Amino acid sequence: MRKVTETDLPGVGVRFDLQTDAGRAVGVVVHQSGRRDLVVYDERDLDRACESVELSEDEGHTLGEILGGSPVLEHLDDAIHRLEDLVISWVTIAAKSSTAGMTLAESALRTRTGAGVVALVSDSGSIPIPAGTERLEPGDVAVVVGVPSAVMAATRLLTRPG
């Protein structure tokens, strides 16, 4: 994957920059509110945004899909490649799932499937290496690691009833 530089904008959000081989630069400003600005930099002054288009969260997702997959997925390919038979998967916890609302310990995800939850990501932030007392809230994203079959089993538990 191409190198994207990430810069904090205190009080605003985060800016991601990408320089193209042709010498142009584009960027995305992700605001704390979810708003995104698609930014095109001036050819002669690579620090100056000559165009800035405001996108809602939804519009940003759509544009991202048109442009080809999400960086998270590409990241995943990368990870799979390097870790050989380990898989990392980002699973959104479904409300209808039998595990939704349970704590990690209650769900017994690791003993039942062999895959582990290494992080929980919600709107209010992420919990790396969550303790057994953390809850699997519907809508949050669980980052699941394991061999492919174990991750598949864990994904089923987190997304499907029964």
Partner 1 sequence: MPTGGDLLIIELGAVVLGLAVVARLARRVGIPALPLYLLVGLALGEGGLVELPASAEFIEAGAEIGVILMLLMLGLEFSPHELVVNVRRSTLAGFVDLVLNFAPGVAAGLLLGFDPVVTVLLGGVTYISSSGIVAKLVADLDRIGNHETSVVLSVLVIEDLAMVLYLPIVSGVLFGDTLAGTILAVTISLAAVLAILGVAYFLGDRLSAIALSQSSEALLLTLLGVTLLVAGLAGRLNLSTAVGAFVVGVALSGDIVSHARGLLLPLRNLFAAVFFVFFGLQVDLSLIPGVAVAALAIAAATVVTKIASGWIAAARAGIGKPGRLRAGAALIAHGEFSIVIAELGIGRESDLGALAATYVIVLTLVGAVLYQFADSITLPARKPRRARA
| Residues within the interface to partner 1 (CB under 8 A) | 7-12, 15, 17, 27, 29, 32-33, 37, 39, 41, 44-49, 52, 123-125
Minimum CB distance to partner 1, residue 144 (Å): 25
Given a contact cutoff of 8 angstroms between Cβ atoms, the answer to whether 104 and 130 are in contact is yes
Answer for the pair 51, 40: CB distance below 8 angstroms, yes or no: yes
Kindly state the helix (H) or strand (E) to which residue 15 belongs, with its residue range: strand 13-19
Q: Looking at beta carbons only, is 51 or 78 nearer to partner 1?
A: 51
Nearest distance in Å: CB 4, partner 1: 14
Nearest to partner 1 of 80, 134 (CB atom):
134
Nearest to 116 by CA among 96, 101, 137, 131: 131
Assess contact for 43 and 20: CB atoms under 8 A. no
Q: How far is the CB of 14 from partner 1 (least distance, A)?
A: 9
CB nearer to partner 1: give 7 or 70: 7
